[in-house]
Each structure stands twice: as C-alpha cells, then as structure tokens.
Amino acid sequence: SLASMGRVQTPTLGFIVDRELEREAHVPIEYHSVHVDSDEVRFNVRFHEKDDACAWTDDSGKHRADRTADTGLAEAAFDALGKAKDIQITSVSEGKTNRNPQPPFTTDTLLRAANSTLGWSVAKTSKMASTLYQSGHVTYIRTDSTRTNAGARETVREHIRSSFGDDHLGPGVLGNDVKKGATNVQDAHEAIRPTRPANTSISGADSDWKKLYGLIWARFAASQMSPSVRERRDLQATVEGIDKALNGTASWRIHPGWEAVYAQYHGDVKTSPPGSPLTEGAVWKIDVSEDNPFMKTDETKPPRRFSESSIIQQMKKAGIGRPSTYVSIVKNLGNKGYVDVEGNSLSPTEKGRTLWLQVVPFFNEQNDTDGLFTPEFTSKMEECLDRI
C-alpha cells in the first residue's frame, strides 16, 4: 500500500527514480589512460585529437584526448614511459586563475557544504544549525536569501583588515545573488551568518556546534574578501619513443584572498612553482616508481545516485520545496518506504518505483497542462501561494 503522495514529495521521488532508470540504462565504455609524474606535475598522454577517427568520447559526447579505446596504443605509450628517464618541455603557456568567494549560506547551500566539508547528514546539520540559532549565535536558518546586514558586513571587514590586511578585502558579495530566472526565492530573512561577526568561534559549546559555527563564520567572512589568485602554466612535453604529446599543468597560489579563512577545509595548498625550469626545451626528470608511470584501464560510470544534499540542490533548481521543508521531505521519503538511504546514497524501493511509474502517470493524465505531480506544476503552485 502507498503511504501518501504530495506535491513536493512526489516529484522529488521522481528525480530519484528517473536517475535510477538512467543508471540501469547505462552502457559502460572501456578506456585506457596513461600518465607520468615529474616534479609533482602530472603529465597525461594525449592520444587522440577531436577529429581523429579513433577519438574517445564519453556518454555525453565530450571528447577526452587523454583516453583511448586502443589497448595496444596505450600499452606502447606506457612501455615507452617506463624506459624513459626524462621528458622534454616543448611549450609553456602562462596564465592566472582567480577563484571568487561564494555568497553567505542559505539553507540549501549550508546543508550541502556541511555534507561535503564535514561529512554530515542533512538531518544532523539541520539539528546543529537549529541549536546555534536558538542559542543566539547565528541568524535565522530557514532562508533563501544571501542578503546580509551592512553593519555585520562592516564588522567582519574590520576583522579581515586587521587580521589579513587590506589586500584581502574584496568588494563583497552583496544583494540576493540568486541565479537569473530563479523562482520561489524567500527574501524575508537574511542569509545565515554569525550574529556577532567579530567572534570567529564560540566558547563553551559542543564540538559539533563549534565546527558548524566555524563554517558559517568562514563563509560569511569569505564573502567580503578578495579572490584567491594562482599562477598557472599549461605545459606540453614529449618523451622519446612516443609520437603523442603529453599535457600537464603546474599551478601554485600567489594570493590566498578568501581562502585564508578556509585553510582548515582546504588542506595543503601549493604556494611555490616547481623546481624544474618552466621554459621551452627544459628537461624534467621522471621519478620512476611502482606507480609512476601508470596505466589505468577503466570504464565510464553511470550517473551518480542522488545524495541527501544533491537531491535538495535538485529541488532548489526545480523551484520546489521550501528552506523549512527540505530536510523533512527527504526524511519522509525514507520513512514512508519510497527510498532506501545507504550511506550517502538515495535509491528508490519497489514501492517508490510503483508510485512514480504507475500511479503518478494516472493522476498526471487528469491535468491538461503540466500534470498534477510534476516539478512544473508544483513550482507554479508555490509561486501562486507566494502571491497570496
């Protein structure tokens, strides 16, 4: 028996079922890739150009020059690299890469960031965020807005100025930085930010509260900081015995910008160039080991199942659900037996498949336009409720 259907819950289940059908229809494509490391830079053998008859493309039709279906070609390249002692740089292209800070957290971006950065479930993040809000440490946690208070911004900017210097200040990610065309944005509340931005941490609290507060503070502070800057060198090289080029990229950070407050989440960052010359004609040594050079044989993977955080991102993208209901909708799909939650992966049960593939189409046929249980119908309905 089916537990219930809902205008948000059902199309959300639909995303999960449709993804599973995509996975089942996936036909793996085998490929080989060969690489060699030199002075901490990875060089990939470039097997096929886009117009080659043997050019390797993935399921979406994207060309990958570093992959080939030709086993003999890959093995020959691997053997030649195994005999070589060095590679010769044939071209160097200079450039810089800027990474811009993100706007302060909304409900869905906080849930996603805590999942990817701290490894937390959306239920745990929601619980911890509620405690921080109820304790007065952060602003209201159910929000779609990235707007923040001018006084709070100035407080955190003063902290950045005194801690890191004026060169770490940026123009600030202001306003309600939602994607153009986004619907159902609730702007009644500010973004999620520290209520006292001068406090980089909270004392006398549970360690998990401190972790989440630290992430919220860093995201808010970062939104007022300058971009991080990296020097980048795109390198092309040759190796004796291989008629294919090798491509590699050397990159090192020259200005941390907003990443200065994210150091604990980013791990070690390279801040100096390779010791080998970044010039045409330079010879770089290959540090031969069991794993260098390396030949990898693999096959294309089916699209990933949704996780708790990525299904919320999909709901947001489709314009369905609310910041206050994201967590409960995902939880209900599991509690009602429509979805299995295995680790961080959501897959439909037979009951969930039956609901979406057999029951929903009957109800959708009763509606001449979008269908009763579609993301489009739900999005339009929520837009109408907003007007009311």
Residue 182 sits at φ, ψ, to 5 deg, of: -65, 145
Please enumerate in sequence order all residues whose Cβ is within 8 A of that of 122, keeping only pairs 6 or more positions apart, or say none. Answer: 111, 115, 308, 309, 312, 326, 327, 330
Please enumerate in sequence order all residues whose Cβ is within 8 A of that of 89, keeping only pairs 6 or more positions apart, or say none. Answer: 235, 236, 237, 277, 278, 279, 280, 281, 282, 283, 284
The residue type of 151 is G
Both tokens of 215, joined, read 């992430």
Find out whether 188 and 164 touch, Cβ atoms under 8 Å: no
Residue 349's SS3 state is coil
Q: Which of 140, 213, 262, 338 is flagged as catalytic?
A: 140
140 is catalytic: yes
- Nearest alpha-carbon partner for 237 in 289, 293, 296, 297: 293
* Angstrom distance (rounded) from CA 53 to CA 180: 40
In 105-248, which ranges are continuous DSSP H helix? 107-118, 122-134, 150-164, 207-222
Residue 99 sits at φ, ψ, to 5 deg, of: -115, 120
* Angstrom distance (rounded) from CA 66 to CA 219: 36
State the catalytic residues. 140
